[in-house]
Structure formats: structure tokens, C-alpha cells
Amino acid sequence: MGGNNEANMKYEASIPDYIRKPRPDSSTEERSDFIRRKYEMQQFFNSDEQMFCPFPPQGLCSPSSQGGSSSNQSGLPIEKKHYEKQTTTHRLHGLGLAFRNSWRRKEPEHKPVKKSSSSAGMIEFVGLIKVNVVKGTNLAVRDVMTSDPYVLLALGQQSVKTRVIKNNLNPVWNERLMLSIPEQIPPLRVFVYDKDTFSTDDFMGEAEIDIQPLVSAAIAHENSTLNEPMEFGKLVASKENTLVKDSIISLTDGKVMQDVSLKLQNVERGVLEIELECVPLSQ
């Protein structure tokens, strides 16, 4: 039984026969008179029974009623419901706090580790290659009658270039450049360009050199005590490569060297001569 019915049973326990309970079509005066008698004057109240609160807090009203004097419509005592709500709220808050704390504790594990300058983005190297760009012969014309050539060397992501020699189709550079050799050894790529001041430099040919045999020879000789001149191997010139003549890998003055004459590709003409030296790094 709901709380309103319970209250009505108490306040309307002794309605005299001459008092008519207002109906839906009763006038406002009738309703006001009945309400005043019922609540203010308590003329119909049963004084033999203790009054129950419509929604009593636990402990203030008698537990003897069965239906709802100590319960609300959810069936839970008010205090108990409040307590359970508080407990649930605190528990959820605690779980949320624990989750946040747990997340915060784990956060550093997911953050990228700040790499030191010695290892960040570094590639393992097995040695150095020293390149002496000796000369070019019969290079292509890119200006009116001549060119201003220079050579660019690329090994993996590295690149270096020589100085520009102006107005010369047979330039002599004799310029030494150096590159690091990655563990995964790529070919040494050679490009020749004509330097232009007011436009993009003109292409004058390219070539590739497989430096793996040179590196292997240098590593094999690394722990050797032999310094006498010797030949490690030879790359034979053919239509399948860009060699003008056979290229010999040799030990000269304690250095592992290779002389290379390259026929420039994707251009009408031109030959480039270079000398290679490999210096392995101790493991």
C-alpha cells in the first residue's frame, strides 16, 4: 500500500455520516472545507493509532506497518537506499580513481622512449669508403659548346659531391670524398651534372658500382699482418656492367684498393675514372 493511502487511512479513519467526502464534481468550497477538517482540525483522525509518516526514515516510524510506511515505491527503506546509493557512488568513484591511477602508472610504458644521440635513428656501419674522383673523359655538352661538370656520389641515404670545374669536357678533379658503409651494403651510385646558375643542373650521366667485393676483401684483410702487394680479385668488364675495363681489387701499401673506369649511362657519351679504398671498422 502506498504512502498516500496509508495517510488517508489515518486522517479519514472516522468520517461522520453527515460529512460527505468530496467527489470529482464537488465545488471548490466543499473541497476546501473537507481538507481543513481533515488536516487542520483533524476531525476524522484516529487518535488510537500512532501516525506514520508517508515516507518515514528508518528508526523514526514504527516498523509494524506492512506495506510502505517504512518503504518507498522502490521497496527499499529510505536510509538503506541512501546508504546503498552512497556506497555504490563511492565504489564507482573508487573504481574510477583506481582506473585513473592505474592508467597514469602505465602511461610511461606507452610513451616513446627518448633516444639518445648515440642510437636515435642510427644505422650500423661496417666501414668507410674513400673515393678519389680522378677525372672525366669526353663528357657530354650541356652548355653552348661545353659544360661545367661536377660529380655527386650517393651511398644509401648519404651523398657528397665534388667541386665544379667550369668549361671542361675532360675535367680532372683528383678530389677525395668519404662515405660510411651501412651494414646492408648498397651499391655506390655515381652521377655527373652540369652546373647551371639560373636553372636546374643538367644531367650528364650516371653509373653504379657494386662495392660488396671490395668490402669483403677489406674485412678479410683486417686481421692480417701481410702488407705485401697482392690481388684479391677482379671484376671483369662486360655488357652487363658499366665497366670500361677490368677492375682489380688489390692490396697496395697496406690499403685495400680498387681502380674503376665507368661508362656513364643514360647519356650520349662520357667516361669517369675513380679510385676506391675500403677501411673496415673493428667489430
What's residue 8's pLDDT?
A: 66
What does pTM read for this prediction? 0.57
Cell of 220: 678479410
What's residue 103's pLDDT?
A: 38
What's residue 127's pLDDT?
A: 92
Q: Alpha helix (H) ranges present in the chain?
A: 3-11, 28-35, 78-110, 212-221
pLDDT of 196 > 70? The answer is yes
The CATH fold of domain 125-280: Immunoglobulin-like (2.60.40)
| Alpha-carbon gap, residue 37 to 175, rounded angstroms | 119
Closest CA to 203 of 245, 134, 251, 265: 265
Q: Between 94 and 171, whose confidence is greater?
A: 171
Span of 52-66, 152-166, 182-196, 197-211 with lowest mean pLDDT: 52-66
Percent over 90 (pLDDT), the chain: 46
Q: Read off the pLDDT of residues 86-137 as tens digits, 9 standing for 90 and up.
A: 444 444 444 444 444 433 333 334 333 333 333 335 678 889 999 999 999 9
| Alpha-carbon gap, residue 283 to 279, rounded angstroms | 13
Question: Cell 655527386, residue?
Answer: 152
